[in-house]
Amino acid sequence: MNIYKLNEMTTEKKAYILKRAETDISEQMQLAKEVSDDIRARGDKAVLEYTSKFDRVDLTANRMKVKPEEIEDGYKRLDAETREAIEYAARNIRDFHKKQMPEEMWFTEVDKGLLVGEKTTPIVDVCLYVPRGKGSFPSVMLMLGIPAVVAGVEKIVVVTPPNEQGNVDDAILAAAKIIGITEIYKVGGIQAVSAVAYGTETIPKCHKIIGPGNSYATAAKRVLANYIDAGLPAGPSECIILADENADPEKVALDLMIEAEHGPDSAALLVTNSAELVEKVVPIVERQLEKISDKRRDFVTKGFSTYGGAIITESLDESIAFVNEYAPEHMEVMTEKPFEVLPKIKNAGEILLGDYTPVTLCNFVLGPNAILPTGQSAKTYSSVSVMDFLKRSSVGYASRDGFEKVRNYAYKIACVEGFDTHGLAVKERK
């Protein structure tokens, strides 16, 4: 595991840690351009050919869309304990996102006879991208689908890569049924993003696509940015454990590995003012690594030797300053008084407080959304929320008396900016 002292880090090393994995996807973007152009020209036929080529699954056009009975059967096949866990998670996620809903409409009188306000409206349609990889991600279905449903999106479309049998995994189908989503297509990667950007004979065009994907899906979103809103930028997973000398090394060690197991490009850092804590954490991590699969062990080990490890600071305030500069996707505050630290955290996708709030809880069951900004995007982006599925329209009203009061002000500004018809509209209005 890498161990650094912050005040001894070179400028180059610090920049490397702050940058984390920045994957060059130029080759993927070239491929995405070729595939998307082909899908635009040939529709379903091209989608099916690329699904066979990339996912090694042969489908027909009438099998791309998941049938209602497939959703029902998948739900029934899933074991009762897993269904219960998904249903519990769904309740918490739904409650959390209901609290986010803004007023549908509001007005205020800025001056006598002058009313202004906002009207909030759901996006008409949205595509949810639910990845698959080597396993199933029902949690992503919940984190995307529930805020879309709560927001009131009329048409929700899901695209997700098929498994080896050409089906959607039961856990994803069960999650879809629990939250009430019925329109699901067995397609992923470049071909999925292209299909919803342009529309095909089977797959509808959507105005927005949101959800994490691999480098090919990311490349397709960039290539097709003029045709579809690609939503939140998301890259390799990352987490900071912010700890002081009072932190429990066992809990720190366990939580430090959580996001590191996502892949070799993931970043997991312990940031602390206690060198003694680091000394205790390292052997515990080594011991815990023996309990996980070879694949996950390799991911964690590589992550700790590249973008992760431990950074020792001279004070808690210095640790906090580094966290704000880093702007992590996930962060845990494992200090003596975490609620006193909370106001000082300015940049983080999510902030988890105390010894018993590991990232695992928020990833799956606690309620807050686990689809978060990465790569310092947390400085300007927020987690996925109902607001990703809503849009705001400004509303204004002027009575005749209100108009007369402000017409000259508006006319003067129109003249300054050189807009003749703007000026005429108020100057010559009877």
Active site residues: 329-330
Q: What are phi and psi of 358, to 5 degrees?
A: -65, 160
Q: How many CB atoms sit inside 10 A of residue 237's CB?
A: 26
Q: How many residues does the chain have?
A: 430
Q: How far are the Cα atoms of 131, 138, 421 from residue 141, in angstroms, in the given order?
A: 9, 5, 50
Q: Are strands 114-122 and 105-111 parallel, antiparallel or unpaired?
A: antiparallel
In DSSP terms, which residues pair with 2 in a beta bridge?
none
Q: What's the CA gap between 317 and 295, in Å, rounded?
A: 37
